[in-house]
């Protein structure tokens, strides 16, 4: 089989795995406000989960790169998706918290290693397209997850059924590992801590891009939060977030193609979209066209982190550091726009 065909199959395979995993864990996240009792803080539950998902990525990236066990990390991480959902489905605050945290830990374990494998097999002139295709499929799963959760809740079906897509995703990842374990460029070779540090240094532009753009541009959660501050009804807030996710999915492949054509042009495009997103958000004054436009633009910028930034980075350790930079930028953006809204709404 020609290498180009193998690359296409592997990229699509990883995209399907991410789609299935997202359908499971985004469905679980949608269920949390319903399943968490008053005795357990939803904010604390989500906060610890995000800390696990993003804060541990540098460690998992360094370990994967130093050991060369990329496929093992990918398999372990995707196995934690159905495991976490099944655990949470037992009900009760402790089981829900433990299940959600197991799933978030799995995201930290698999993310850097999976991104390294995608980066390793991607042709130099098609790195943006590779990550764009993966992100588009990933977001389809992110949209399906809440719909699955709604269907299960409305029909009073057991939550454990949400584990089925995640289990299917793990099986697909297992097939991919068996089929492509020794693929040139994606096979695991033990490295060193020095090489891991070097990969982070060589990916400095990706880290700066994520930090600067992520801090100054409102992300989908920020748009949803500011909309709530503006008095938008609670039942409409998920719709606003859905608009961002749809825009993310639609923009992923075009952004990747622009990056492959010109890295500078892709960065300039994202920066040019981020500024009007901020202006539209702060001047929206409730639900309407401006708020929806801000949500869509925020989704496009969000997509750039998964396409442009990932295409710029090199090595599992760098992808781990990239995750932390995204988390820091997202937290800073939330603080920035909450403050701007209270101080000087347009």
pLDDT (tens digit per residue) in 137-182 = 999 998 888 888 888 888 888 888 999 999 999 999 999 998 888 7
CB 209 within 8 A of CB 328: no
Mean pLDDT of the chain, nearest integer: 84
pLDDT score, position 202: 64
Domain(s) labelled CATH 1.20.1250.20 in the chain stretch across 3-191, 194-343
- Cβ–Cβ under 8 Å, residues 308 and 291: no
Cβ contact 155:169 at 8 Å: no
Q: Which two tokens stand for residue 70?
A: 């990329």
Inform me whether the pLDDT recorded for 274 exceeds 70: yes
pLDDT confidence tier of residue 42, bands split at 50, 70 and 90 = low
**Buried b / exposed e along 194-204 (16+ C-beta atoms within 10 A):** eebbbbbeebe
Q: What is the pTM of this model?
A: 0.86
Q: Residue 184 is inside which H or E element, if any?
A: none
pLDDT-wise least confident of 28-32, 136-140, 333-337:
28-32
pLDDT of residue 339: 80
Q: Establish how many alpha carbons lie within 13 A of residue 129's alpha carbon, considering only the half-sphere containing its beta carbon.
A: 11
Q: Which residue has the tokens 């357990």?
A: 40
pLDDT computed for residue 91 by the predictor: 75
Angle in degrees, 0-180, between the axes of helices 93-121 and 42-50, rounded to the nearest 10: 30
87 and 99 in contact (C-beta within 8 Å)? yes
Does 132 score more than 60 pLDDT?
yes
Lowest-pLDDT choice from 71-75, 136-140, 251-255, 274-278:
274-278
Domain 3-191: CATH superfamily is: MFS general substrate transporter like domains (1.20.1250.20)
C-alpha 119: how far from chain center? 16
Higher-scoring residue by pLDDT: 77, 89: 77
Of the candidate CATH numbers 1.50.10.10, 1.20.1250.20, 3.40.190.10, 3.30.70.790, the domain formed by 194-343 belongs to 1.20.1250.20
- Confidence (pLDDT) at 230: 74
pLDDT value for 39: 45
């Amino acid at each position: 089989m020609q290498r180009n065909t193998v690359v296409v199959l592997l990229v699509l395979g990883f995209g399907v795995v991410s789609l299935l995993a997202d359908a499971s864990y985004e469905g679980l996240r949608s269920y949390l406000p319903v399943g968490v009792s008053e005795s357990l803080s939803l904010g604390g539950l989500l906060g610890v989960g995000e800390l696990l998902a993003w804060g541990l990525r540098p460690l998992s990236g360094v370990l994967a790169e130093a050991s060369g066990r990329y496929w093992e990390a990918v398999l372990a991480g995707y196995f934690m998706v159905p495991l976490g959902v099944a655990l949470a489905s037992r009900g009760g605050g402790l089981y829900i918290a433990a299940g959600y945290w197991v799933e978030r830990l799995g995201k930290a374990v698999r993310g850097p290693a999976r991104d390294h494998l995608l980066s390793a097999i991607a042709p130099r002139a098609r790195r943006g397209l590779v990550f764009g295709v993966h992100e588009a499929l990933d977001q389809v799963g992110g949209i399906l997850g809440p719909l699955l959760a709604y269907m299960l809740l409305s029909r009073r079906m057991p939550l454990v059924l949400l584990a089925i897509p995640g289990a299917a995703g793990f099986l697909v990842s297992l097939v991919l590992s068996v089929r492509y374990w020794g693929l040139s460029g994606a096979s695991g070779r033990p490295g060193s801590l020095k090489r891991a540090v070097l990969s982070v240094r060589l990916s400095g532009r990706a880290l700066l891009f994520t930090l600067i753009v992520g801090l100054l541009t409102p992300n989908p959660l920020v748009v949803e939060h500011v909309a709530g501050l503006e008095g938008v009804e609670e039942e409409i807030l998920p719709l606003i977030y859905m608009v961002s996710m749809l825009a993310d999915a639609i923009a992923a492949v075009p952004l990747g193609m622009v990056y492959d054509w010109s890295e500078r042009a892709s960065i300039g495009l994202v920066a040019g979209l981020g500024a009007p997103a901020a202006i539209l958000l702060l001047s929206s004054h409730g639900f309407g066209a401006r708020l929806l436009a801000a949500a869509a633009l925020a989704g496009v910028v969000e997509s750039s982190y998964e396409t442009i930034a990932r295409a710029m980075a090199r090595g599992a350790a760098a992808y781990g550091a990239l995750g932390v930079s995204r988390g820091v930028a997202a937290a800073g953006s939330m603080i920035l726009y909450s403050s701007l809204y209270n101080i000087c709404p347009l």
